[in-house]
Structure 1
Amino acid sequence: MSRKLEANGLWESNRMMLPQHKERINEHRTQIQYQSKPIIHDDEWEIIAQNLEMSLNYTIPASFEVFNELGNWYVHGTVTSISRQSNKIKIEKDHGFEHVDFDQLISVKLESGGGFGEADF
């Protein structure tokens, strides 16, 4: 019996791609979707600063959302230092440290602690 009649053989043996399809696939692969940095309101900056200070002073772990043009990334850890001169935050993670630009922060959420709902920001 022919292999074409077994399983998915009929479709596998008749595979064909038009030049237009190939061109569109190549365009899609080379097209990078950049996103712009969201505008953060002054109230949100105040909450971010407050959560940073609480994480620093009380060693409360937090989740940091950091802007990137290709997609935001997240850092989980505790703030160990804040450098106002270089606008950098040093975050202690499970395996080492991470330095994050203050201007690239989108949100800071405390993971635990605080009796008045600070972790909800």
Structure 2
Amino acid sequence: MSKKLQGNGLWESSRMMLPEHKLEIIHSSKELKRRQPMVLDEQEWESIGRAMAQSLALRQPIAIRMYHPFEELAVIGVVDRVDNQRGRFMVDGEWFESRDIEGVEEA
């Protein structure tokens, strides 16, 4: 007797997946891996400000952990400029948003 005729074999052998279903499965699995942004308190913001000011004044490289929804990012380099009005900072000629900072370490 064929396996298709035993138990749930007929249903199992007749399944198919539409492209829309496949895309939804991929999208759902990606959403499960989404990270939430960290909420920093005043003390952490002060230590971040000190580290950035020290990097700016003494030209010391630092590693700044940045928020990204699906991966962990780090900006490593020397802080060139800080623009508090627009909420951004420049590291090695590239601007980054200050609100995306999750932490700072010495490089």
Calculate the TM-score normalised by the size of structure 2.
Answer: 0.71
Residue 43 of structure 1 and its aligned partner are, at CA, apart by 1.1
Calculate the TM-score normalised by the size of structure 1.
Answer: 0.64
The yes-or-no answer on 1:71 pairing with 2:76 is no
Partner SS for 2:64? strand
State the distance in 2 between where 1:83 and 1:68 align: 21
The yes-or-no answer on 1:85 pairing with 2:81 is no
Q: Which amino acid aligns with 2:25?
A: H
State the distance in 2 between where 1:70 and 1:45 align: 23
Unaligned runs of 5+ in 2: 1-12
Query: Could you say what the CA RMSD is over the residues aligned between the two structures, in angstroms?
Result: 2.1
- How many residues matched? 89
Match of 2:94 in 1: 98
**CA shift in 2, pair 1:28/1:52, >3 Å:** same
Q: Which amino acid aligns with 1:28?
A: I
State the distance in 2 between where 1:74 and 1:28 align: 30
State the distance in 2 between where 1:55 and 1:18 align: 63
Q: Which amino acid aligns with 1:55?
A: S
Match of 1:29 in 2: 26
Question: How many percent of aligned residue pairs carry the same amino acid?
Answer: 16
State the distance in 1 between where 2:64 and 2:55 align: 11
